[in-house]
Structure 1
């Protein structure tokens, strides 16, 4: 029996986000919601939660059903409260007085360290803030759970802990998850909704298998469309030929036949629908200027230290060669970001570079950090390109439009852009830098699945040399051809990432 029933639902905000959506949510459903950035995933969850009225259609819920909605944004009202207080206040007042133990049970279930429970939300990392929002909803024991991008800002250990937590929920609690994390969706869902402006598709399969089924349907639809359009063209050619004969012979029968053929062609053309093509949020393209050097960087027992001077790890002697796509693996606090910064400083020649890192003179660096610190909030996309590259205003505007930043966004402060728009701007700047060595720290943050797959394709098609840090397991598996792991204060090369992923799942702290 359906606990939530969505019937002919549609939302239009300037343009249709989705329409005629039908979805039945039953006990035990774990539904992944997939769409490109800005295509209505958050909007759909808000409608189901009752926080937004749809443009068309209706949503019915079982009598008495309570819905817990974990949104992306952290409410400003809880920033000054401690982790514990923020979760406690989510309970009804009477329940908070008599059943405060619920908070401890909830925090234990997601492994919140004791010392963090009294820290203000504002002082926590983005990952812990996300888990605080989850705990605030979970503590109320909702009958259904809606999660909007729950893995944003989480490191790999927390992502895998969240997977374990979700999979341990009572099976009668349905969960709807909006996410761009393909591995997370595969691990936590049993149904997948591909949200589209028209004809959204639902499969009783987790993401990867559902995506394969969807691709087959889209390809079949495109083949059918091409066949129908070809038939319509043939009918029009036949009609034109008969029309000429009819005019020359004065035959009324041929005139009628010509009209019938044209009408058949028109009906075919009107009814034909092309296979679905995702309207990209903006193209992602990279470049590789190349180099004759086989070895781009040499690491000679580099010492990576914490800000206070404590040794985090040593590298031993290692080389980065042309075509290497090296993934750096390690737990939070192991020194990944410090190591990336040492390499950036050494290659760019800025600041105090380590003498243990040598780069060939032909190396040109393309660097992107996870915080996108090189894109100040007060700057604009147009100004950001104009200062870095001598390409002219018209060319800059065309490039920004191609990256998904239309005219209305080009002079808007970067701080007002969405995470996906900022990421695509950062990728455009990387491309225009025309590097031959990429240093990428969490490059898929905020990118939708279309963007992630485009970035994967570009890195491999251009045979780009790169060192990258990522918590995105699907991205790591697709891109990496060498893997370095920080372990026991040493940097060691390993065959693949799977053992590291397994260890992160076994020890999530």
Structure 2
């Protein structure tokens, strides 16, 4: 459908891409990953035709249409309501509607057969284009990504940039191009909307390329991962988790090859040095020199996964209670955010505040901070030292300061060496620390602002969307920092990978009340799904339970025989399940043996046996469940 062949693209004298190639097939679901600055967004713009390659070409099929969601669309304005903007995706169908309206107006005075035939032809075409359903489709997509029904008639210009971006996403999804390209779509979506888009992309009929730093989003909606690194494009046939595992294995193989080659090079160089002056060995020496010159050098592996060690310093610990909210209410006019709700934050709490946009998460964060007027009472505990991180703090950075100067002015009392160590953890190394703030990208500014927040002696942190604009490496660094932080924090985030890594409590707002789940995000997700399943089952449970049928004596005797037979069969199935479990463990141990792991043929054979045993075990478990149900029915009947 689309091919990138030997692509090169230079910025000044630096090669962003050099002889890079990639082939995109219909229905491919591709995640484009790599560190900030490697050229992911640039590649999308080259494919779209916004930039021209320095060398190579992008070839696409004649019928290939491209839809591109990028950050430039944030500035798009319109007086039209968002429903009408989304409906612009159906230009051809809307034009047919206009023609139908014109013909209907003509028919007020013209009843000729030609006019009637024209109307019939236009209406048939309109129906073939599913014109009668386009409004419903547009409403479904807009509401799926977070708009309320009342929002649909509001003009686009009345929404913030992030919400306007959602409208542009809805329009693109409705256009259904052959190739859909999305640049950081989750930056402007809340968690329910992210999950809706994941489901939509999984079943999207065309091809998709997504640039995202949301690991879970990529895992849930892509099937191929393409890494942008060192000017090349490397494809991995799996989602992001597969890519991480596969890349680790490839790096180990490459590092072993590098070390072996280096050892061989040293031996060859020693031979050359030792016998260079001997005439009898001159042919061998020259042969080895030529061999070294012709050798394809294996590069040493550079591991992107940085382990960091933050040393947080508190001048004092907070009291047990950090912040207590007592019977708090908050509203903006008729919009009620919180109503007579209470909550308590205790020392050591790591709270993730989650939920849909518009529920009041950022408002609640400001209430906790004490900067938002409320009805009710907010009590701050003893010795609490706060530090608040939010996106607007990026604008508060001194644009003419160097990065190191900006941290020096934070008043932490740390030495330049300590500050440079902190900046190194946030990927600012060597001369990078002397860059001016004004030349930094959005992600780099976010890292500076986060570093400023973390070097303070605060024992209570408030973090509003800290992972926005961060690449995956920076998110992982932040996770490590928050795991080492011994104080208390509350974070608003839609990044499930980040929440999963840092939170020990989950807060959400429901029915204008603060709700708390005392556990991790995975535990909360399981509990939430069980709650939803219970609500779905409730109407079924309320149905009238049929009366127990009275059996005759012969029927009771027959049921007892059948019960005995089923119980014996159940015992046999349980024994078989235990055998399969034992065999699975043995095969897992066999796969871990070096002689098997290093031999692909042996490993494949063991994998096949393992898959067969697992299938047999699953079938036995299903049979066990059926037998248990049958036994319960017989016991009930007797």
**469-478 or 58-67: which moved more?**
58-67
The answer to whether the 8 A contact 2:82-2:153 is kept is yes
1:318 is aligned to 2:380: no
Which residue is equivalent to 1:164?
A: 199
Q: Secondary structure at the match of 2:490?
A: strand
In 2, the alpha carbon distance for the partners of 1:500 and 1:114 equals: 29
TM-score scaled by length of structure 1: 0.82
Structure 2 residue 389 is the aligned partner of structure 1 residue 364 = no
**2:197 and 2:52 mapped to 1: Cα distance?**
30
Distance 1:234 1:499, change over 3 A: same
Range moving further from structure 2, 221-230 or 400-409: 400-409
Deviations along 1:317-338, one digit per CA (max 9) or x if unpaired, are: 634223x422223443443223
Structure 1 match to 2:3: 5
Q: Which residue of 2 aligns with 1:337?
A: 362
Partner residue of 2:138?
A: 106
Distance 1:87 1:490 in 2: 35
Q: Which stretch has the larger CA shift, 138-147 or 92-101?
A: 92-101
In structure 1, what is the Cα distance between the partners aligned to 2:78 and 2:398? 23
**Following TM superposition, by how much is the alpha carbon of 1:417 offset from its aligned partner in structure 2, in angstroms?**
4.7
Distance 1:351 1:226, change over 3 A: farther
CA RMSD of aligned residues (A): 3.8
Q: Is 1:203 aligned to 2:236, yes or no?
A: yes
Mapped to 1, the partners of 2:19 and 2:247 lie a distance apart of 18
- For the structure 1 residues 467 and 59, does the alpha-carbon distance in structure 2 shift closer, same or farther, using more than 3 Å as the test? same
SS in 2 for 1:357: strand
2:212 aligned with 1:186: no
Change (3 A) 1:408 1:482: closer
Q: 2:313 aligns with which of 283, 286, 289?
A: 289
In the aligned structure 2, how far is the partner of 1:500 from the partner of 1:448?
A: 26
**3-state DSSP class of the match of 2:196?**
helix
The residue aligned with 2:185 is 150
| TM superposition shift of 1:423 | 0.7
- Cα 1:397–1:321 change in 2 (3 A) is closer
Alpha-carbon distance, 1:295 to partner: 3.0
Corresponding residue to 1:432 among 435, 449, 455: 455
Residue in 1 aligned with 2:41? 42
Instruction: Identify which range, 394-403 or 435-444, moves more after superposition.
Output: 394-403
| Alignment CA distance shift 1:364-1:221 (3 Å) | farther
- Give the superposition deviation at 1:5: 1.7
Deviation at 1:189, TM superposition (A): 0.8
Inter-partner Cα distance in structure 2 for 1:69 and 1:399: 40
**Offset at residue 279 of structure 1 (A):** 11
Q: Is the 8 A contact 1:39 1:195 kept in 2?
A: yes
Structure 1 residue 460 displacement after superposition? 1.6
Give secondary structure in 1 for the equivalent of 2:481. helix
**For 1:196-248, what per-residue CA distance to the aligned partner results, in whole angstroms no more than 9, with x for missing partners?**
224422112011112211122123212321332233234334444445xx5xx
Deviation readout 1:457-486 (Å, 9 max, x if unpaired): 122234453221210011111222233343
Query: How is 1:419-458 mapped onto 2 (pairs within 5 angstroms)?
Result: 419-458=442-481
SS at match of 1:366: strand
Alpha-carbon distance change, 296 to 197 in structure 1, aligned in 2, over 3 angstroms: farther
Secondary structure (helix, strand or coil) at the match of 1:216 reads helix
- The alpha carbon displacement at 1:445 in A equals 0.7
Aligned to 1:232: 265
Q: 2 CA distance for matches of 1:430 and 1:447?
A: 16
Q: By how many angstroms is 1:165 displaced?
A: 2.0
CA distance in 2, matches of 1:39, 1:205: 21
User: For the Cα contact (< 8 Å) 1:286–1:430, is it kept in 2?
Assistant: no
| Partner in structure 2 of residue 64 of structure 1 | 63
Aligned equivalent of 1:491: 515
Q: Distance in 2 between matches of 1:495 and 1:394?
A: 39
- Is the partner of 1:10 in helix, strand or coil? strand
In structure 2, the CA distance between the partners of 1:67 and 1:385, relative to structure 1 (3 Å rule), is same
CA separation of 1:293 and 1:389: change in aligned 2, threshold 3 A: closer
Unpaired runs of 5+ in structure 2? 98-125, 534-638
CA contact (8 A) 1:41 1:178 kept: yes
Which whole-Å CA distance do the structure 2 matches of 1:160 and 1:74 have between them?
22
Residue of structure 2 equivalent to 1:53: 52
Aligned match of 1:328: 353
Structure with the higher fraction of residues in helix conformation? 2
Give the Cα separation in 2 of the matches to 1:427 and 1:235: 50
Report which structure shows greater RCO (CA 8 Å, sep ≥6).
1
**2:396 aligns with one of 376, 384, 402:** 376
Distance 1:162 1:92 in 2: 23
| SS of residue paired to 2:362 | helix
Q: TM-score, normalised to structure 2's length?
A: 0.66
- Counterparts in 2 of 1:147 and 1:480: CA distance versus 1, 3 Å: same
Separation in 2, partners of 1:136, 1:110: 9
Is 1:303 aligned to 2:323, yes or no? no
